[in-house]
Chain A
Amino acid sequence: MKRLSAFNVVSLTLGFAFLYIPMLILILFSFNESKLVTVWSGFSTKWYGELMQNEAMLQAAWVTIKVAVISSSIATVLGTMAAYVMVRSGRFLGRTLFSGMIYAPLVMPEVITGLSLLLLFIGIGLDRGVLTIVLAHTTFSMCYVSVVVSSRLATFDMSLEEAARDLGCSQAQAFRLVTLPIIAPAVVSGWLLAFTLSLDDLVIASFTTGPAATTLPIKIFSAVRLGVSPEINALSTIMIGIVTVGVISASLVSKRALVKQRREEQEAVRAT
């Protein structure tokens, strides 16, 4: 391992401090005894206990998880289908436009996405609630899934699917029995990414939510306006934990698949 120079150590420390000190303070104070957020008076997990008693918070957490699971699942199906079409259909009229349109939401400001969805839901007279948040989250997270899955499909050997067709599979069977099992790691990491995105979205959710459905980020945001309580710190700590686990496992899944693929390719080369 190369030793880092003093300059690099300093810049690395500053960078990480900048990124993580706010979060560390938040996590630290979630274990604070005192009700005052800025005064440390001893270690305690009592705010976690109180959080478990807070009906409104638990309700919001339940809504958030429900929304995240449903929307990321729909987004995975749609995103995978879009990726499949983009990679497989080769050249067709308007392909560039079509692929651009799939990826546009990646760079679209959230405020605009949220506003346009709000206008749509009002326009078609859909009552705002869990359903509308699910639809909104599906809309913006499916393009992320599509990006992840299409990068895997680009290196997928087309003749595998032809072989499946040749051996008696219909197009759908070939996809289910051959393509899907092989690209599964990319699909799973796409799902995890969509799940994480949905979990911590505030802007789009607040545009598209109604009085009946409050997600955790909305709840926290509105609670903070009345003053930060250690309970919120505890909740935020749990969310940081969940998001971290989600992101790390998504990258682990795809990395392991990549490593495995590399190793298999190398073994194949050596074997021939």
Chain B
Amino acid sequence: MGADLAVPVFEPWTDPQAKPLIQFQNVTKRFGDFTAIDDLTIDIFECEFFALLGPSGCGKTTMMRMLAGFEAPTEGKIFLAGQDIAPVPPNQRAVNMMFQSYALFPHLSIWENIAFGLKREGMPRAEIAARVEEMLRLTRLEKFARRKPHQISGGQRQRVALARSLAKAPKLLLLDEPLGALDRKLREETQFELMDIQEKTGTTFVIVTHDQEEAMTVASRVAVMDNGKVIQVATPADIYEAPNSSYVADFIGDVNLIQGQATATGEDTYALHWREGAAPLTIKSPNAISDGQTAHLAIRPEKVTISADKPEGADNVVQGKVLDIAYLGNLSTYHVELPTGDVIKAQTANTRRISRRAYTWEDTVWLSWTATGGVLLAD
């Protein structure tokens, strides 16, 4: 019965027949001596919600500006629907952009802002009116149509910017840190709104963000960038569960990184010799690592179990002392210091009242995790 209910999974990147909407082919962008984008090759498919994630200055905004047409690649080619877009000026690309500052025209009303692009297209008046009304409905702004941008709130302005960039029904919508100016609660609501709108309109979205939670929430795939290079492109789950490097593991979420020398002990199974005198750690990891190579075990704090008594039958067990407790209400993160001086973080859900907790600061506790709990990353 389970098989009958299976929803077709949206994964065009696994289908060799699928034609990407956007292709970056060996694109390099230099500003003088500074290399903003370094030999970048990436495919983005239709209807994807693609996130470019990285620290500021990693080149993600430059990539977006090249798609919009405000920058030209120094080397390499960018294809949109199979067509090289280098010679196409920004006003003739089927691409629209939502600016970080929103860039709403202050001298025009909300209605006129949304109609702006349609008027340039030479669309008949009646059609413009219908389309603008549709956009106002989609973004729930009907009441504010006659107002000027300075007469509405930040969240509303953000929706106007979205409506304006969607009005022309672009093949590709670029969002440059679209939620950066909103407070946390509004940002979370808007993320879901964005996903909803993306699904309704079927537009391909490329979002630039430095907020990993935002990227994980909205995106179908995430590209983690650093210094003009793409480090990993994968689904949010793969990025989190199977990072391909310690940079990605460290950048996304919280992680324990344990360095050591790996030796293969079976198929995909390795022993990590991490400290003189300590028992080697057992890891099942798909990444091929040669014997004796230095590697990092990356394991998420929530995959480390903490207990007062020594657990039976766990693959990896270490003992330590509780150094610090970060209490988040629903979760607590325990910083546990091992006799070797290493600190390992373990996270648990607070299913019991805090007064019923079996261990606290300075208590000796046991940490354990399974062989498949973490991944082994070669340096």
Q: Which residues of A contact B (CB under 8 A)?
A: 157, 159-160, 162-170, 173, 177-178, 181-182, 264, 267-268, 271-272
Contact = CB atoms under 8 A, between A and B. Distances in A.
A173 B91 CA distance: 11
B151 A173 contact: no
A177 B112 CA distance: 12
Looking at A160, A168, A177, the one whose CB has the most chain B CB atoms below 10 A away is A168
Q: Lowest 10 A-B CB distances belong to which pairs?
A: A272-B154, A167-B117, A168-B120, A163-B103, A264-B150, A159-B103, A271-B153, A181-B107, A165-B90, A159-B99
B105 A169 contact: no
Contact of B107 (A167, A170, A182): A182
Given A168-B168, A268-B157, A272-B157, 12 more contacts: A162-B103, A165-B69, A165-B89, A166-B95, A168-B91, A168-B121, A170-B91, A182-B106, A271-B153, A271-B157, A272-B153, A272-B182
B293 interface: no
11 contacts: A157-B103, A159-B103, A163-B103, A165-B90, A166-B68, A166-B69, A167-B120, A168-B120, A168-B168, A170-B89, A173-B120
A159 B164 CA distance: 14
Contacts of A169: 91, 120
Contacts of B101: 157, 159
B150 A268 contact: yes
Contacts of A162: 68, 70, 90, 97, 99, 103
A166 B106 contact: no
B209 interface: no
A114 to B, nearest CB: 41
Given A162-B99, A271-B154, A272-B181, A167 B168 contact: yes
Contact of B150 (A166, A170, A267): A267
Interface residues of B, number: 32
A268 B157 CA distance: 10
Contacts of A268: 150, 154, 157
A267 B96 CA distance: 28
B274 interface: no
Contacts of A267: 150-151
B104 to A, nearest CB: 8
A69 B165 CA distance: 42
Contacts of A159: 99-101, 103
B152 interface: yes
Contacts of A160: 103, 105
A256 to B, nearest CB: 15
Contacts of A157: 101, 103
A163 B91 CA distance: 10
A271 B227 CA distance: 36
A10 to B, nearest CB: 46
